[in-house]
Amino acid sequence: MKKILLIVSFLATASIASAQNASQSYIQRFKDNAIRIMHESGVPASIVLAIAMHESGSGTSKLARTQNNHFGMKGKSAVSYTGRKATHSSYKQYDSAQDSFQDFARVMTERKKFTKLAETLSHYDYLGWVKGIQHSGYASSRKWGAQVLGLIRKYNLSAFDERPDTTRNQAQPKNVE
């Protein structure tokens, strides 16, 4: 019985460590893109990263892998292929992950239900952004905002909101163990 508990404990620990490694890799891969989008659009980098991480499972979801859609954006999409199988989807397909990030920023700054956020909130107010996005109907889950805030806090993503361009390579999210 002790061996079974030990094995289960080890597997659970390994699974958690793997998820954190995937999240850290995702942050490193897309942080500069998120910061650039923040400076162009006013949408906080922490919001861009946390929502992308949440909606795509840090890039591991099928939608992110097959359609480069990291935000769960719905819309007309061409047929995508999973192997040789043609798949029709109600989700948008992008040529790259960067295109998905750009489209998210466009939606946040151009769609009527979200434009007030960019007009009234600074890129330092990630809490206001999360609340505003949730209240505007981005996600139907009542837990969505708390989950996104949890990612921002767990990985210290707000550090990317406050740093100027000149220190871009110095700030790092904290390592959570």
Spans of all domains in the chain: 2-167
What mean pLDDT value characterizes the chain?
Answer: 83
What is the DSSP code string of the chain? -HHHHHHHHHHHHHHHHHHHHHHHHHHHHHHHHHHHHHHHH---HHHHHHHHHHHHTTTTSHHHHHH--SS--BS----EEETTEEE--SB---SSHHHHHHHHHHHHHHSHHHHHHHHH--TT-HHHHHHHHHHTTS-S-TTHHHHHHHHHHHTTTTHHHH--GGGTTT--PPPP-
pLDDT tens digits, 33-72? 999 999 999 999 999 999 999 999 999 999 999 999 999 9
Pick the CATH number of 2-167 from 1.10.530.10, 3.40.190.10, 3.30.830.10, 1.10.15.40: 1.10.530.10
